Amino acid sequence: MDETIYLYLDASALVKRYIAEVGSEQVRGWITSADKVVTGLITRVEVAAANARAQRMKIIIRDKSKLSSSAGSAR
């Protein structure tokens, strides 16, 4: 029997991993506890849009010093 724990995150949950807001610590805990984290294909676009919105609203500030040529690739 497969004992692997899969955690599915939609965009609203995954954003909490990168932008501090209510529920962020809980999401980080779930991610730490899971063996694998999965999400839908559309989530990449939704998270990018949420990130751009947060930058426009000055909730987060883009740190150009941390960008690399692999910034858009999966890790």
- DSSP conformational letter for 6: E
Instruction: Compute the average pLDDT of residues 49-57.
Output: 90
Residue 63 has pLDDT above 60, yes or no: yes
Interval 5-34: pLDDT, tens: 999 999 999 999 988 889 999 999 999 999
Instruction: Compute the average pLDDT of residues 46-68.
Output: 77
Give dist(CA 28, CA 8) in Å, integer: 13
To which H or E segment does residue 48 belong?
A: helix 42-56
| CB-count burial class (<10 Å; 0-12, 13-18, 19+) for 9 | buried
* Helices assigned H by DSSP within 1-75: 11-18, 24-33, 42-56
> What is the pLDDT at residue 20?
86
